[in-house]
Amino acid sequence: MIGTASNGRTISITGLGCHVPERVLDNAELERLVDTTDEWIMERTGIRERRIAAPEEAMSDIALPACLRALENAGVEAKDIDLLVMATVTPDMSFPSTGAILADRLGAADAAAYDLSAGCTGFMYALAQAYGMLAGGLAQRALVVGGDVLSKILDWDDRSTLVLFGDGAGAVVMEPVAGGGFLGFELGADGGGGVHLWLPGSGSRHFDEPEKFVKMNGREVFKFATRILVQSAETLMERCGVTIDDVDVYIPHQANVRIIDHATKKLGIPSERVVVNVDRYGNTSSGSIPLALADAAADGRLRDGELVLMTGMGAGLTWGSALLEWTKEMAA
């Protein structure tokens, strides 16, 4: 599915916030937990540390500070939010939704609130959904949250997954603005590849003695990721009438530095335009792109008029890209 911005309302991000747990799990500690080494992890993933939620911390606990910072950054109050979309595969519980829990904790009493599950692509799907609701006039101001606490569903004896993932969340306020904003989205899914990254036994489908841990075919996921990051980005840019030379900031899903390097080279974008923080956070799933977006903002890399390209991919198998002309302004 691909779409470009309509001729009606112009929608953009007006507030941004993120949060990660306090505990840092570095490669040296992993060496004491599983059969691995810092050298092995760095060579294959580029990850040197990741954040891990405390036993008592759930998804809403990690997401709440990110939401509060995004609201403060936008200069709006929670009561002014009428749509809250929470992208996650690790909700507090099956129901009520973590989105509804967050809306209550924030004081967004009248907001429509729900969870969205699209693996690591969740934040991109949520941006597109919020855009559609705002552009169509069904909502006036949205809070989009992406985050996961994957440490809760990992096999801590499996080095192939344990070294990759971390916990964290990011949130953005979206609303109509006078200029700039989102230019288009490209989304897709290949359910046939779902068995390469899945959590059997976590739903209504019966499995004999499921472990309820993340299962991943690393080779197949790597092949999918290196292809789809480039394909999705190029498809969207072509539809929007821009080239990679027009892109000022590229934010790919932070899964693995080798995947990011491959996409960067294939797209032909200079490395200095690419945001990379996987070394500090690991793969935070739906939290990956908003965390990287927050880093880019903190580093002064997001300036008015600059073109930002974001591309995610993950379980499903899913993918999604967005083009955004960055503008930090109050609502129109």
Tokens representing 46 are 């580029």
307: phi then psi, degrees, rounded to nearest 5: -95, 125
What is the phi-psi region of residue 46: left when phi exceeds 0, alpha when psi lies from -120 to 50, beta otherwise?
left
Marked catalytic residue, from 19, 27, 67, 253? 253
Contact 147, 102 (CB under 8 A): no
Contact 281, 48 (CB under 8 A): no
Cα–Cα separations (whole angstroms), residue 28 to 40, 91, 133, 151, 248: 11, 30, 46, 17, 36
Marked catalytic residue, from 18, 67, 120, 240? 120
Contact 59, 84 (CB under 8 A): no
Contact 53, 167 (CB under 8 A): yes
State yes or no: is 253 an active-site residue: yes
239: phi then psi, degrees, rounded to nearest 5: -65, -35
- Cα–Cα distance measured from residue 267 to residue 261, given in angstroms and rounded to the nearest whole number: 10
State yes or no: is 206 an active-site residue: no
CA dihedral 85, 88, 92, 97 (to 10 degrees): 30
DSSP 8-state secondary structure symbol assigned to residue 288: H
Tokens representing 321 are 């890209």
Block residue for tokens 């519980």:
93
State yes or no: is 262 an active-site residue: no
Contact 75, 330 (CB under 8 A): yes
Contact 288, 300 (CB under 8 A): no
Show the CA angle centred on residue 275, arms to residues 321 and 320, nearest 5°: 10
| Bridge pairing between strands 49-52 and 167-176 | unpaired
Tokens representing 225 are 């990721």
Kindly list the catalytic residues: 120, 253, 283
